[in-house]
Amino acid sequence: MQLIECVPNFSEGNDLNIIKQITDEIEKIEGVRLLNVDPGKATNRTVVTIVGEPQNVIEAAFQAIKKAGELIDMSKHKGEHPRMGATDVCPLIPIANISMEETAQYARQLAKRVGEELNIPVYLYEAAQPNAARNNLSVIRAGEYEGFFKKIKEPQWKPDFGPAEFDAKRGGTVIGARDFLVAYNINLNTTSTRRANAIAFDVREAGRNVEVDGKKVNQPGSLKAVKAIGWYIEEYGVAQISMNLTNINTTPVHVAFDEVCTKATARGIRVTGSELVGLIPLKAMTDAGKYFLQKQQRSTGVSEAELIKIAIKSMGLDELGPFNPQERIIEYMLANEADSKLVRLTLTAFANETASESPAPGGGSISAYVAALGISLGTMVANLSSHKRGWDERWVEFSDWAQQGQQYKNELLRLVDADTAAFNKIMEAFALPKATAEEKAQRTAAIQAATKYAIEIPFAVMETAYKSMEVIKAMVQTGNPNSVTDAGVGALCARTAVIGAYMNVRINAAGYADKEFITGLIARGAEIQTKAIALEAEIIAMVNEKIGV
């Protein structure tokens, strides 16, 4: 499935009734998910995030643009953010299985329809705009709404689609395709827009123009792929640095935050927190958490939830209002809860579900969970060792082990639900109709495909559980000696998981027709089981030696 994201910005941030009428149009379109609605009072602007298959998304965007044009009167609009229309800007962003060029084609398709059917002047930008001289949003929007009555008459600013006459009520719209952009505001302990702008010019890639020997010379800012301006937000009573991070691989959020802190301090100003507008990728948050832990010389091998919590607190993302990761991180918004139904249960509920008359979760899921507990113990020892008094010079070593352990734990937790899903796939395949020869053939093919999947999942549990024993062994050998038995129990769990998962591989293999595939997999599984049993014995011997009693 191809997925694109669309982030239309509407020039209304105060009237929630208008905002809801616009988003209602989006929610009418099947196959589109409304992920986030983020109104700003001072900016008088609402950023909406939707995702879905391309044709569905551009239909939803078109209907939202149409409704915004009906409800918003730009002749009466005031706000801190630069703007030129009721739907000010509408970017499309490739998310999955789609290229930027394909996304740009959809942006052009949407722009053409808005211009021709709604008679709104439309400008293309970024990847959708073939003319490099006018693909920059800030250049297109220069002069804003008030200046476009004159600007649109200039030949070089003829719209790409729609009439070359400015619409006093609806204004103009910019539609394009771009990479994922993070809109991010940093709060200052000042009310001065001029001082905020000075800091913005210090950091933004475009920098500022300075006079050298009587000539204007550009002095670039310190951060690449960053656009920034300073403004005063009356709603909060503070000035902000408003930033667009156009490539968070080049300048991540945490780097932008720290750099603004440095530049602000140099000007006698303090950063008090920050604010995310719209959504952010999970990796940006976990990378930030790791960054701030590393600055403290603390282990980065903690859970995903803990990394996110540290990122929120370190950057003050909750200063102006609650920051709920489930509503602000794009992967969490897109996640299907059915894919993690079991691991979301409490321990008691999980045990009760296992003990019920339902055949799933069964041995495969339990093997994966036992392995997850085993490597969790090994990871705990790594974290304890990283923070052990007197071992300060070794914190990086143990932090690396803990990170590796977290990766194994996360994969094994995923496999808990995957194994039950594999069983369900087999049941669904057996339930298919078999009245005709064609139906019988389709049913047989579905059963074989589901059976192969049900073999591969427990085999992945075997491989992952065995690999995790490397971390556990290292913690017995070099970790905090006070926790050596914890690592030993982890080894027992990992061995159990390998043997248990191998049983599932073998019993599911009996129903698979490709015997050559089965022969090879069973042989590899036997080898992993033998190695796991031997490694567990080696680890337990080391544990007993260290206990010494």
Catalytic residues: 81, 419
Token pair recorded at residue 148? 């476009």
Strands 87-96 and 9-10: antiparallel
**Alpha carbons 409 and 31: distance in angstroms, whole number:** 33
| Residue 117 CA, distance from chain mean position | 35
Token pair recorded at residue 539? 């680890």
Identify whether the C-beta of residue 32 lies closer than 8 Å to the C-beta of residue 5.
no
Helix (H, G, I), strand (E, B) or coil at 49: strand
Write b or e for each residue in 475-495: b if 16 or more Cβ atoms lie within 10 A of its Cβ, otherwise e.
bbeebbeebbbbbbbbbbbbb
**Alpha carbons 269 and 198: distance in angstroms, whole number:** 11
Other CB atoms closer than 10 Å to residue 272's CB: what's the count?
A: 16
Helix (H, G, I), strand (E, B) or coil at 36: strand
Write b or e for each residue in 351-374: b if 16 or more Cβ atoms lie within 10 A of its Cβ, otherwise e.
eebbeeeeebbebbbbbbbbbbbb
Identify whether the C-beta of residue 123 lies closer than 8 Å to the C-beta of residue 83.
no
Q: How many CA atoms lie within 13 A of 383 on its CB side?
A: 18
**Alpha carbons 72 and 170: distance in angstroms, whole number:** 7
Distances (CA, A) of 126 to 50, 132, 286: 19, 8, 28
CA dihedral for 143, 148, 150, 153, sign (positive or negative)? positive
Identify whether the C-beta of residue 418 lies closer than 8 Å to the C-beta of residue 501.
no
**Alpha carbons 113 and 125: distance in angstroms, whole number:** 16
**Alpha carbons 389 and 535: distance in angstroms, whole number:** 30
Token pair recorded at residue 330? 């794009």
| Residue 112 CA, distance from chain mean position | 31
The torsion angle over the Cα atoms of residues 539, 540, 542 and 543, rounded to 10 degrees, is 120
